[in-house]
Amino acid sequence: MRIVLLTGPGGDAQGWGDMKVTDSMREALESLGHPARIAYVADEAEFFRLLDRRDFDIVWSALYHITPNEAFIGRNAAGTWVADVMDERRIPYIGSDSRTMRAMIDKFETHEILAAAGVAVPAHVLLRPGDDASAVTFPAFVKPMCESRSVGISDESVVHDKAELRRRVAFIGKEFDEPALVEEFLPGDEYTALVLGNGRTRECLPGLVTVEETHYHRYRILRSDLRGVGLTRISLAGARTEESRAICDAAAEAMGCLDHVRIDMRVDRAGRLRIIEVNGIPGLKPHKSWAPQIYTLYHGSPEGEEEDYRRLIGAIAEAAGRRYGL
Ligand SMILES: Nc1ncnc2c1ncn2[C@@H]1O[C@H](COP(=O)(O)OP(=O)(O)OP(=O)(O)O)[C@@H](O)[C@H]1O
Ligand SMILES: [Mg+2]
């Protein structure tokens, strides 16, 4: 199965990580006998040229959409969405289809789909500056509608009254040109699950995410300055294992996820797990990203983490390959 690893200026902000991560994936795939190469596309013209050549069997994209924006995902409503183009041209690709990819990037739509399917999500409302906020109860949590890596998230995300809420919604609009997703504040523990494979062979592997207490300021939340700097720890989900497995399996089913996603959860005031988001292109940095760490927790090999990483990358690619008969 000849694989093209598609990335570009947004590869780190939107997708699995930077060029070094992309190269680790390429090496892993090659070592498993899947010829793999990296295609860095700077713009739409380069993206279409790559597809026209069609010298590969399947695409694995770090990008939801093609954009010069390196800093954050952005809405890019009118832009070129990778999975849309793949579907139009009937080109096989790894990961969820375009409808699901778009739903996952939009955290409000994710909540709506999950709530309609009976999967627990926080109470939520989408607000633009100036919108009526009378439905919001406090404390509330305010975040950009479609970002990742805790971009736009700090202790200021927790708001206690209408004035703080108004200020934070204005900040999100100004900084990201996105509506703000306002959720009930979930004060409990945080979990994340790697969901791997499809259909009856799909596995949900949940882990507890912790940060040493001294790193928190006012709230036990994963602020942007705590992410990507080696401060978060993943351990087995203990007493929450079955509950998180069930909720993630139901969520993956409701969203129509394919091959692999990572689902984030937190515990609400009443002690129940709620899904906060489904990540369609989770980070895949060897040793560091949560997905490889969780894979090792559950499927650690005697050979060590490097081998586990190879197996994880292989499992994702091969799950997609099986869907297409490649
Ligand atoms: N409703 C909430 N109540 C309390 N904390 C929250 C809530 N929503 C998010 N958080 C905190 O903010 C962090 C980032 O939120 P979320 O997972 O939605 O965003 P993200 O930036 O997309 O993350 P990722 O990099 O996982 O894609 C969470 O890990 C959690 O610690
Ligand atoms: Mg998250």
pLDDT digits (tens, 9 = 90+) for 112-140: 999 999 999 999 999 999 999 999 999 99
Q: Taking residues 208-225, report their average pLDDT.
A: 93
The overall average pLDDT reported for the chain is: 96
Supply the residue whose CA is at minimum distance from atom 15 of ligand 1.
Answer: 150
**Ligand 1 atom at minimal distance to the Cα of residue 147:** 22
Q: Please name the residue ranges forming H helices in the chain.
A: 11-14, 19-31, 44-53, 82-89, 98-105, 107-116, 162-176, 241-255, 290-299, 305-324
pLDDT at position 64, please?
A: 95
Q: Please, which residues have CB within 8 angstroms of residue 212's CB and are 6 or more apart in sequence?
A: 231
* Neighbour-count burial of 306, counting CB atoms closer than 10 A to its CB (0-12 exposed, 13-18 middle, 19+ buried): middle
Q: What is the dihedral of CA 146, 122, 228, 17, to 10 degrees?
A: -40
Distance 297 CA to ligand 1 centre (A): 22
Beta partners for residue 211, in sequence order:
232
Q: Is residue 105 classed exposed, middle or buried when 0-12, 13-18 and 19+ CB atoms within 10 A define those classes?
A: buried
C-alpha 79 – ligand 1 centre gap (Å):
25
If you write DSSP's letter for every residue of 64-103 in order, what string do you get? SB--S--S-----TTS-BHHHHHHHHT--BSSS-HHHHHH
Most distant pair of Cα atoms in the chain: their distance: 58
Sequence length of the chain is 326
Res 145: pLDDT: 93
Q: Over pLDDT 90: what percentage of the chain? A: 90
* pTM confidence score: 0.97
Q: What is the spatial distance between Cα 112 and Cα 132, in angstroms, rounded to a whole number?
A: 20
Q: Is the CB of 277 under 6 A from ligand 1?
A: yes
Which residue is it, tokens 């999950």?
Answer: 114
Comparing 23-32, 65-74, 197-206, 255-264, which segment has the lowest mean pLDDT?
65-74
pLDDT band at 273 (very low <50, low <70, confident <90, very high): very high
Ligand 1 atom nearest to CA at 186: 3
The H or E element that residue 274 is part of is strand 273-279
3-class state of residue 191 by DSSP = strand
Q: What is the pLDDT of residue 230?
A: 87
Ligand 1 pocket residue status of 64, Cβ below 6 Å: no
Instruction: Say if strands 3-7 and 36-40 run parallel, antiparallel, or are unpaired.
Output: parallel
Across 296-313, average pLDDT? 98
Q: What is the pLDDT of residue 72?
A: 84
